[in-house]
Amino acid sequence: DQQVKQNSPSLSVQEGRISILNCDYTNSMFDYFLWYKKYPAEGPTFLISISSIKDKNEDGRFTVFLNKSAKHLSLHIVPSQPGDSAVYFCAASTYNNNDMRFGAGTRLTVKP
Amino acid sequence: DVKVTQSSRYLVKRTGEKVFLECVQDMDHENMFWYRQDPGLGLRLIYFSYDVKMKEKGDIPEGYSVSREKKERFSLILESASTNQTSMYLCASSGVGDRGYQPQHFGDGTRLSIL
């Protein structure tokens, strides 16, 4: 029962362009949605989050959009840089963090 | 900066062995978690603990147990290792929500191979 889905296993973009990573969820009880970035041989690093009461959160080059009616969120990276190449995990959590669900991940490659 | 340290980066064990994976966090976090990561499946929760000596099962607890005797340390135990437990194991910690929502912070993982 995958409550969080990332349907694109990989994405390739040119340096300087926009990267858009997508995520869908099924459980409307989630309070927070997060994106983690993972380099090989390292643990996931927290990138950005959004509360379920908001529809947009921005942090530098990274913006997360939440569409609650569609149960969909996306991460926009503008402009994309080669150092952004990593696996990105979408996650959804209740407020107390005791039930966080992860997607399968999307491997982003940013080409110079 | 939050520091979550896993005792081993790579570990090779034999079928039937009892295996201990250790995790220590330095931020006085109440919550600690153990996940395994497998290709195409993302991260799946094995167990979590919200206080010393407290534990809750996650989605895939079979074949595993945990121990939390001190707040900063959370151990994952494979009672009798099997080849299907070959995986990347990730430990995480987070504070409680009275200081606002706090995301989980992860260690660098232990890649465990069971032969």
**pLDDT tens for chain A, residues 1 to 112:** 679 999 999 999 999 999 999 999 998 889 899 999 999 888 999 999 999 999 999 999 999 999 999 999 999 999 999 999 999 999 999 877 677 899 999 999 999 9
Q: Residue B65 sits in a domain of what CATH number?
A: 2.60.40.10
Taking only Cα atoms into account, the Rg of chain B, rounded to an integer number of angstroms, comes to 14
- Contact indicator for A19, A106 with CB cutoff of 8 Å: no
B70: its two tokens: 């001190």
Q: What is the CATH number of domain A4-111?
A: 2.60.40.10
pLDDT band at B95 (very low <50, low <70, confident <90, very high): confident
What is the pLDDT, as a whole number, of residue A71? 96
Torsion region of A105: left, alpha or beta (phi above 0 gives left; psi -120 to 50 gives alpha):
left
Q: Determine whether the interchain pair B43/A9 forms a contact, defined as Cβ–Cβ distance below 8 Å.
A: no
In chain B, residues 42-101 whose CB comes closer than 8 Å to chain A: 42-45, 48, 50, 56, 90, 92, 94, 96-97, 101
Across the interface, of B41, B56, B105, the residue whose CB is closest to A98 is B56
Contact B104, B25 (CB under 8 A): no
Residue A82 phi/psi, 5-degree rounding, is -55, -35
How many domains would you assign to chain B?
1
Q: How high is the pLDDT of residue A14?
A: 98
Provide the domain limits for residue B82.
Answer: 4-96+106-114
Please report whether residue B72 resides in a domain.
Answer: yes
Q: What is the mean pLDDT of chain B?
A: 93
In degrees, rounded to 5, the angle at the alpha carbon of residue B47 between the alpha carbons of residues B81 and B17 is 15
Distance CA B59, CA B54 (A): 17
Banded pLDDT at B98 (limits 50, 70, 90): low
Contact B85, B114 (CB under 8 A): yes
